[in-house]
Amino acid sequence: MAVSTKPAREKVVALAGGVGGAKLAAGLQAALPTGCLTVIVNTGDDFEHWGLHVCPDLDTVLYNLAGLNNPEMGWGRQDEAWTVLGEMERYGGENWFRIGDRDLALHLRRTEWLRMGLSLTEVTDRLRRLLGVPSAILPMCNEAVRTLVHTEEGDMPFQHYFVRRRCEPSLVDLSFVGAESATLSPEVRKALNSADLVVFCPSNPYVSIDPILSVPGLRDLLRHSKTPKLAVSPIVNGQALKGPAAKMMRELGEMSSPLTVLDHLGDVLDGFVIDRADAELSDAVILPALVTGTIMNDLPSKERLAQDILAFAATLRTAPVPSAAD
């Protein structure tokens, strides 16, 4: 007999990169009781710009969960203004990474706090509280781990590849510089240990999820945890909904397919969510699979996907989960 073991206040941890991750995080926040969501966010994209500490993925998650995100641009703030950027151009400042005036204030405040000695975890928590976000938002670690993109045109920091070069150089490999010195923060460890469900958001597996998994101890903690862990494919119908995931797969000699995502992350997963457009692949998924609509255009579609995921997770708890090796 199937007995629901879903707790009254299920604690969900989402692992997220930028836009796609932030969308599902917003859906989960809407679907869950207040305070039940923790989002662990990639910081491999972080970099210094205009002398300030910029955390693109943390900010995208923060702005989405605060309802302040700019849905047209996919990043940055609503009702943004650009006076400072125009002046920075006058002073010969770099302008390939566009920081708006509202967005800038957050980078200023974060940099000020980091220079005072606060950790990135503490700073991020202050910011999300100030923006009225009820969910916990955790950087994957406090140490600097930086995604270095090895391309046929040489190595480049992630934002140079992603924004300055618009992902044009052909990918050869990736490394996460500093990962060997990073540590699992107490907050990340506690969130994962007390989670009732871990959701890998539909984020780029190579440059959003892998940096998170590169933090020493994190991948092992997930593999040994009995908590259901499932991933939502960021590839739909052979394409990435946003960003260079599909292009990267092809350049790495892989199919741009949900199965490539599954192959990449499968050892830590108990379930996999694919879009209806890929329904014919469900038989090839070696884990319990949910086929549903994964395209999130508005808050109702985000929340619906979140509810589908929560219901799917409940079924994983009620049945013995076959291991990926079965």
Nearer to a copy of itself (CB atom), residue 115 or residue 226: 115
- Return d(Cα 317, Cα 227) in angstroms, integer: 8
Q: How far is the CB of 228 from a copy of itself (least distance, A)?
A: 37
Q: Is 50 in the site for a copy of itself (CB under 8 A)?
A: yes
Tell me which DSSP letter residue 69 carries: B
Residue in the block written with tokens 């923006």: 131
User: What six digits make up the tokens of 160?
Assistant: 């140079």
Only one of the segments 26-34, 49-57, 224-232, 250-258 lies at the binding site for a copy of itself (rule: CB under 8 A); that segment is 49-57
Per the DSSP assignment, residues forming a β-bridge with 54 are: 47
- Return d(Cα 177, Cα 191) in angstroms, integer: 25
User: What six digits make up the tokens of 241?
Assistant: 């909904």
Task: Give the side-chain half-sphere CA count within 13 A for 123.
Answer: 23
Q: Is 65 in the site for a copy of itself (CB under 8 A)?
A: no
Nearer to a copy of itself (CB atom), residue 10 or residue 122: 122
Q: Which of 2, 4, 8, 51 binds a copy of itself (CB under 8 A)?
A: 51
Q: Is 83 in the site for a copy of itself (CB under 8 A)?
A: yes
Q: Which of 73, 130, 255, 295 binds a copy of itself (CB under 8 A)?
A: 130
Q: Is 224 in the site for a copy of itself (CB under 8 A)?
A: no
- Return d(Cα 179, Cα 256) in angstroms, integer: 27
Q: Which of 5, 71, 105, 267 binds a copy of itself (CB under 8 A)?
A: 105
Q: How far is the CB of 164 from a copy of itself (least distance, A)?
A: 17
Nearer to a copy of itself (CB atom), residue 137 or residue 218: 137
Nearer to a copy of itself (CB atom), residue 96 or residue 186: 96
Nearest Cα to 209, choosing from 164, 248, 238?
A: 248
Nearer to a copy of itself (CB atom), residue 115 or residue 224: 115
- Return d(Cα 162, Cα 169) in angstroms, integer: 10
- Return d(Cα 41, Cα 79) in angstroms, integer: 25
Coil vs helix vs strand at 300? helix
Query: In angstroms, what is the C-alpha Rg of the chain?
Result: 19
Only one of the segments 9-17, 87-95, 181-189, 265-273 lies at the binding site for a copy of itself (rule: CB under 8 A); that segment is 87-95
Contact 273, 258 (CB under 8 A): no
Q: Is 112 in the site for a copy of itself (CB under 8 A)?
A: yes
Q: Which of 72, 92, 154, 297 binds a copy of itself (CB under 8 A)?
A: 92
Only one of the segments 35-43, 47-55, 159-167, 274-282 lies at the binding site for a copy of itself (rule: CB under 8 A); that segment is 47-55
Q: Is 117 in the site for a copy of itself (CB under 8 A)?
A: no
